[in-house]
């Protein structure tokens, strides 16, 4: 008998699937259970520490899912630590963080996250303290170099200023060119 190489969905992926089946936005679900949309987004993207067990229980009740046990939540936390231990590519989701480099693309400014490989225990940005993103906020794909997801094409950092200080843009372009060399 052959077994397929299908991986089990994480709780965050199960919640996302159930939410989409009910045609609920992250914002609408977050309002119903009393959490922030950004925290729900992080949890759906695989950041198991973004929501408390109490909020996870409310979400599961709202979506008709079986709430996880404490052991299952602990196992997801261990999975996160293992991924970070092996140097998973991450980036800071804070558009104001100096590690995110403003670049000009045509007549608009985009932010290129300075992706790096996280090591054991590194869950927060060393510059601003924000929780690091490990997956595309839109589709959940692994992070690739650059400003846009290779799978869905969405920008990793959507909250971008319309204009940026030209000196910071020029400095960022030099830093990016140097780091890619």
pLDDT digits (tens, 9 = 90+) for 135-160: 888 888 888 777 888 888 888 887 66
What was the pLDDT predicted at 139? 85
**For position 33, what pLDDT does the model report?**
93
Termini Cα distance of the chain: 49
Contact 95, 70 (CB under 8 A): no
Which residue, 172, 170, 133, 168, is CA-closest to 154? 133
Nearest to 118 by CA among 146, 144, 87, 145: 87
Model-wide pTM > 0.85: no
47 neighbors 134 (Cβ within 8 angstroms):
yes
Domains of the chain, first to last: 11-85 (1.10.260.40), 87-181 (no CATH)
Q: Which residues pair with 116 in a beta bridge?
A: 90
- What pLDDT, in 10s, does the model give residues 62-110? 999 988 887 777 776 666 566 555 556 788 888 878 788 877 777 777 8
Q: pLDDT tier at 6 (50, 70, 90 boundaries)? A: very low
């Amino acid at each position: 008998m052959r077994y397929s190489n299908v991986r089990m969905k994480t709780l965050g992926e199960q919640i996302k699937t159930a939410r989409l089946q009910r045609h609920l936005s992250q914002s609408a679900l977050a309002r119903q259970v009393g959490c922030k949309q950004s925290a729900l987004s992080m949890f759906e993207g695989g950041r198991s520490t973004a929501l408390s067990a109490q909020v996870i229980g409310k979400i599961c009740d709202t979506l008709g899912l079986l709430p996880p046990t404490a052991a299952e939540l602990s196992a997801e936390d261990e999975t996160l630590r293992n991924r970070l231990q092996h140097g998973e590519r991450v980036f800071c989701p804070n558009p104001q963080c100096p590690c995110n480099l403003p670049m000009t693309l045509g007549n608009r400014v985009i932010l290129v996250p300075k992706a790096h490989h996280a090591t054991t225990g590194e869950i927060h940005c060393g510059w601003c303290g924000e929780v690091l993103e490990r997956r595309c906020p839109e589709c959940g794909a692994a992070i690739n170099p650059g400003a846009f997801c290779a799978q869905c094409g969405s920008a990793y950092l959507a909250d971008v200023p319309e204009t940026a200080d030209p000196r910071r843009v020029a400095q960022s372009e030099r830093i990016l060119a140097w780091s890619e060399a």
